[in-house]
Amino acid sequence: MKVTFEGDEQTLTLFEAAIWIGGKGWNLSEEQTAALFKSGVAELFQTLASGRLAANGIRRETQLREDIPNSYWERAEELPELSEKRHSVSFIEDADTVQDNSGFGGSLTPYGDHSPRWVDIRVDGHAIRSIYPFGWRKRRLTPEESQARDEIIGRAMRGEITPSEADDEALRRIGEPIETPPDPSNFRPEREPWWTLTMALAWIVRRDLETVRCYWNDYRRECCEWRSSTVGRGTPSQQSGWVIEPLGSISLSDAIFYLAFETSEREWGMPIVAVSNAENQLLLQLRSGQLIAFAESHGDRSQVPDHAWINVNLSNIDHRFSEEPWVRSADVRTIWKATGHTKPDRRAPHRPRTQRDAAISALRELYPAAGGNPGAEKVIAVFWAVNQWLRKNGQTEVSRRTVERAITDIRIEDS
């Protein structure tokens, strides 16, 4: 089934809610909807169980609409086997039990019951968009634009065009690339009262809000990237191409690995604190009670006792909590203050040419009159102009983040 979102729906059926989450608010084809449905269902059930989102349904006995207790969603599953002892959820009902006759209201049958207790299940549209604010980031595509986008993605999947060519064509035909990052101004970690431990660790290592944003799962869920894909590997019909996939959430253990890996990347310069030292410092503050962490428990955020951090390894913390603990961002930035640390000079002889150097060269060629400063031109337009110049000159493309930092370097030199 193909679902079309306008972005202002008052309520969503359970099916629509799963597609909204799994498909990041995009108007998708039936094939894409089917591919993302399962991941959307898993995250929807988790969010409902945590109490962050509520669902309501018509109770069979009373025929009155009421909220469904969050506890039911913790062990909910789509049509489980009886032996699994889980609450059964169906996303398809008889059309006459659903207020819009779509058949996709959703029903929940508690374990042990023989018929659904709640039917025509709905979630509040404003509430789900507050938690998953996909609708604001991109205008809604027209049916023609959505068809064009599907066509471009299909050609990339078949290997007929590269990701760069797909993004260029999408920019011409629908006004935006397929791989369009969200606007960073809508994700300001300094305005968030709570940070995950992953975000806190990123701050300790780099003291850079931009890095914190990159390790913020709300931001990462909005990002997508091209990845190589091979279908029918080893068969005569083998087909290689590219698929666009969500960047997805990152766990604390994965973040530790990536932060350590970044240390070897000249692009980012040297960290303020080595990752292993940052882990030790974070645990020391948690054990001493100087930094207080909170974790989800039965829908409420409760304090994690100081002693709970004894003999804890941050790399294995994902197995100790159902959801990653949170700390107050103000406490983190008070204990580990921002520094005036500057990264190594990009022209230092010992430092090889980096992606940022390449971006700066492109900017100076594209905007020679201003010494490479694009002025008030939109960053997204500059980003695509820089990569087009790099491609024409046989060089590797760079990320939008790299272009933004290159622009900053040029403006600092001009000041």
Q: Does residue 230 sit in the same domain as residue 256?
A: no
> Does residue 350 form part of some domain?
no
Q: Does residue 123 sit in the same domain as residue 29?
A: yes
> Does residue 77 form part of some domain?
yes
* pLDDT at residue 349 tops 50: no
Mean pLDDT (the chain) is 82
Task: Tell me which of 53-57, 134-138, 286-290 is least confident.
Answer: 134-138
Question: Measured between alpha carbons, how far is 213 from 168 in angstroms, rounded to an integer?
Answer: 27
Q: Reduce the DSSP state of residue 41 to 3 states and report it.
A: helix
Q: Does residue 201 sit in the same domain as residue 317?
A: yes
Q: Does residue 269 sit in the same domain as residue 144?
A: no
Hey, how many other C-beta atoms are within 10 angstroms of the C-beta on 198? 26
Which residues span the domain enclosing 158? 139-180+224-244
Q: Does residue 387 sit in the same domain as residue 315?
A: no
Q: Given pLDDT bands bounded at 50, 70 and 90, which one contains residue 208?
A: confident
For residue 265, what pLDDT is reported?
46
Q: What is the mean pLDDT of residues 271-294?
A: 92
> Does residue 348 form part of some domain?
no
Q: Calculate the alpha carbon distances from 292 to 85, 196, 255, 281, 322 in Å.
A: 37, 12, 21, 14, 18
Q: Does residue 158 sit in the same domain as residue 281?
A: no
Q: Calculate the alpha carbon distances from 294 to 194, 291, 326 in Å.
A: 10, 10, 5
Question: Measured between alpha carbons, how far is 112 from 115 in angstroms, rounded to an integer?
Answer: 9
Q: At what angle do helices 143-157 and 163-174 cross, to 10 degrees?
A: 170
Strands (E), 253-398: 293-297, 300-303, 326-328
* pLDDT at residue 341 tops 60: no
> Does residue 27 form part of some domain?
yes
Q: Does residue 43 sit in the same domain as residue 117?
A: yes
How many Å from the N-terminal Cα to the C-terminal Cα in the chain?
Answer: 56
pTM, entire model:
0.52
Half-sphere exposure of 374 (CA within 13 A, CB side): 25
* pLDDT at residue 350 tops 80: no
The encoded tokens of residue 388 equal 């087009």
Nearest residue to 183 via CA among 385, 408, 379, 388: 379
> Does residue 381 form part of some domain?
yes
Q: Reduce the DSSP state of residue 300 to 3 states and report it.
A: strand
> Does residue 2 form part of some domain?
no
pLDDT digit string (tens) for 25-80? 777 777 778 888 888 999 999 999 988 899 999 999 999 999 999 999 999 999 88
Hey, how many other C-beta atoms are within 10 angstroms of the C-beta on 136? 12
What total number of domains does the chain contain? 4
Top-ranked range on mean pLDDT: pick from 233-237, 251-255, 256-260: 251-255
For residue 95, what pLDDT is reported?
47
Q: Does residue 319 sit in the same domain as residue 229?
A: no
